[in-house]
């Protein structure tokens, strides 16, 4: 049981310096996805429950067991978003999308699933996702995958594996389901309870069951790619061929089906060995979703990546979890009279050098105590000023790496910093 001040299981307080890494992930996503023509969309954290149920499918694990659903005072059923795609589609339908138009958006923020907390599995987790809605061609599927690989490079994650598969389209489903049913029904007794239920409710999910006994049976199951129509197969081949031509490494994973019902054609996951049991860094694919109240299906392709898992993968590769916030310049003010001039000087340095992190000590403690703080913050330069310097209009600048220090007129501070940083 958490204490009264601890966050609930599966949730976290995020403090500096960890927060610096989160901001880096977000800013890099804005930069890279922006360069592919995606713009940011912020949708509400809760929606009417049917926004999620209708798009994700009522037989999916998320809808069946994991949603945080509650009634508001008006008796409406609302749900904290377990993922981003359904809300994005609702928002795009609300704004309207004309025939042939493509809307490219990215989003980031907290998602909520009532799963059993484990390493890399939280109840409030954070996704960065993209959706290219209105795009109908396989090239966009490949571009999305390539963009995620580009993003991983930019944030220093090497060694990930892209796995892709196809689910075909709705018209292929019966053929696939019948073939899987014929194969699994005679061996069902040897499979887990979930799979026994899935045979009638969601047979596709048997393919990606993690249970060892089930996996043995799955290994001999007919392949989706052999059961879908020639058109669906051609679509999948086009995605693969495009990835080959632009040099993105991937493997075809015949049992990858993904846990949400809205997918058609391409599905993909990106795995990383540094993650342990929850090894998916990202998941996505092409989908067709009927927005709430609408008749017109919206089709798109996208993916979402879990920020907690990105950070775990970075850590496994030796990236330190959050460099300390630190300071480039630290101002030591000796004696109460020097405190306000110290603040004023810090302000003027911050305005003169946008990129510098400047901290000042306002406690008028001993020189030794203030220097200790400067060291803790890894300050590159300290500026020291007491009553004598104040009277002369000077400051003492110390380069912390070389320990060299010199007294200069206060008015020369910017030139000195430029030369020494």
Give the binding site for ligand HAM (CB under 6 A).
83-85, 113, 115, 120-122, 125, 127, 129, 131, 280-285, 287, 302-306, 308-309
Q: Give me the least distance between CB of 287 and ligand HAM, in Å please.
A: 6
Q: Give me the least distance between CB of 373 and ligand HAM, in Å please.
A: 36
Q: Which helix (H) or strand (E) holds 12?
A: none
Q: How far is CA 70 from the centre of its chain?
A: 26
> Distance between CA 319 and CA 407 in Å, rounded?
39
- DSSP helix/strand/coil, 400: coil
Q: Give me the least distance between CB of 181 and ligand HAM, in Å please.
A: 25
* Closer by beta carbon to ligand HAM, 226 or else 251: 251
Cis amide prior to 17 (ω within 30 degrees):
yes
* Closer by beta carbon to ligand HAM, 88 or else 218: 88
* Closer by beta carbon to ligand HAM, 56 or else 191: 56
Pairing mode of beta strands 46-48, 77-80: antiparallel
> Distance between CA 37 and CA 130 in Å, rounded?
11
* Closer by beta carbon to ligand HAM, 168 or else 285: 285
Q: Give me the least distance between CB of 228 and ligand HAM, in Å please.
A: 20
Q: What is the DSSP string of 326-345?
A: --SEEEEE-SGGGHHHHHHH
* Closer by beta carbon to ligand HAM, 121 or else 319: 121
| Phi, psi (degrees; rounded to nearest 5) at 109 | 150, -175
Q: Which residue is nearest to ligand HAM (CB)?
A: 306
Both tokens assigned to 264: 């058609």
* Closer by beta carbon to ligand HAM, 103 or else 305: 305
Q: How far is CA 42 from the centre of its chain?
A: 14
* Closer by beta carbon to ligand HAM, 112 or else 184: 112
Alpha-helical runs (H) found in 256-395: 307-316, 339-352, 367-376, 387-392
* Closer by beta carbon to ligand HAM, 306 or else 322: 306
Q: Give me the least distance between CB of 386 and ligand HAM, in Å please.
A: 52
Q: Give me the least distance between CB of 101 and ligand HAM, in Å please.
A: 18
How many C-alpha atoms does 122 have within 13 Å on its Cβ side? 19
Q: Give me the least distance between CB of 234 and ligand HAM, in Å please.
A: 22
Q: Whose structure tokens read 């995620």? A: 148
> Distance between CA 18 and CA 417 in Å, rounded?
28
Q: Give me the least distance between CB of 242 and ligand HAM, in Å please.
A: 18
* Closer by beta carbon to ligand HAM, 188 or else 280: 280
Q: Give me the least distance between CB of 102 and ligand HAM, in Å please.
A: 15
Q: Which helix (H) or strand (E) holds 106?
A: strand 103-112
> Distance between CA 226 and CA 239 in Å, rounded?
17
Q: Give me the least distance between CB of 240 and ligand HAM, in Å please.
A: 19
Distances (CA, A) of 290 to 80, 90, 253, 262: 20, 9, 28, 9
Pairing mode of beta strands 381-385, 251-252: unpaired
Residue partners of 325: CB distance under 8 A and separation at least 6: 16, 17, 20, 357, 377
> Distance between CA 219 and CA 294 in Å, rounded?
40
Q: Give me the least distance between CB of 280 and ligand HAM, in Å please.
A: 4
> Distance between CA 355 and CA 337 in Å, rounded?
28
* Closer by beta carbon to ligand HAM, 307 or else 358: 307
* Closer by beta carbon to ligand HAM, 217 or else 309: 309
């Amino acid at each position: 049981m958490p204490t009264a001040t601890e966050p609930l299981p599966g949730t976290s307080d995020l403090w500096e310096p960890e927060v610096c890494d989160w901001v880096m992930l977000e800013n890099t996503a804005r930069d890279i996805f922006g360069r592919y023509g995606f713009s940011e969309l912020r949708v509400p954290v809760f929606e009417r429950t049917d926004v999620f149920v209708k798009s994700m499918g009522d037989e999916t694990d998320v809808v069946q067991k994991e949603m945080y659903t509650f009634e508001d005072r008006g008796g409406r059923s609302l749900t904290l978003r377990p993922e981003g795609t359904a809300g994005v589609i609702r928002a795009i339908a609300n704004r309207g999308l004309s025939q042939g138009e493509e809307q490219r958006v990215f989003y980031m923020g907290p998602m909520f699933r009532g799963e059993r907390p484990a390493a890399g599995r939280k109840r409030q987790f954070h996704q960065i996702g993209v959706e290219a809605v209105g795009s109908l061609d396989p090239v966009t599927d490949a571009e999305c995958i390539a963009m995620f690989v580009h993003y991983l490079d930019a944030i220093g994650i090497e060694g990930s594996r892209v796995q892709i598969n196809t689910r075909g389209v709705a018209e292929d489903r019966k053929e696939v389901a019948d073939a899987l049913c014929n194969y699994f029904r005679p061996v069902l007794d040897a499979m887990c309870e979930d799979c026994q239920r899935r045979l009638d409710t969601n047979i596709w999910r048997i393919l990606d069951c993690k249970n060892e006994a089930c996996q043995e049976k799955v290994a001999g199951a007919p392949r989706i790619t052999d059961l879908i129509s020639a058109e669906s197969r051609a679509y999948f081949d086009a995605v693969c061929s495009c990835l080959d031509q632009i040099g993105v490494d991937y493997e075809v994973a015949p049992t990858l089906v993904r846990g949400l019902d809205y997918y058609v054609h391409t599905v993909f996951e990106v795995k990383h060995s540094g993650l342990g049991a929850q090894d998916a860094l990202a998941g996505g694919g092409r989908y067709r979703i009927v927005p709430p109240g609408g008749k017109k299906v919206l089709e798109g392709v996208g993916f979402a990546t879990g920020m907690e898992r990105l950070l775990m993968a970075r850590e496994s590769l030796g990236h330190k979890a959050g460099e300390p916030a630190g300071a480039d310049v630290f101002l030591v003010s000796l004696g109460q009279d020097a405190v306000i001039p110290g603040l004023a000087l810090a302000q003027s340095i911050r305005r003169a050098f946008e990129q510098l992190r400047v901290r000042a000590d306002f406690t008028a403690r001993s020189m030794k105590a203030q220097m200790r703080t400067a060291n803790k913050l890894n300050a590159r330069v300290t500026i020291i000023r007491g009553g004598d310097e104040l009277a002369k209009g000077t400051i003492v600048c110390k380069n912390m790496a070389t320990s060299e220090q010199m007294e200069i007129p206060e008015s020369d501070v910017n030139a000195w910093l430029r030369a020494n940083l």
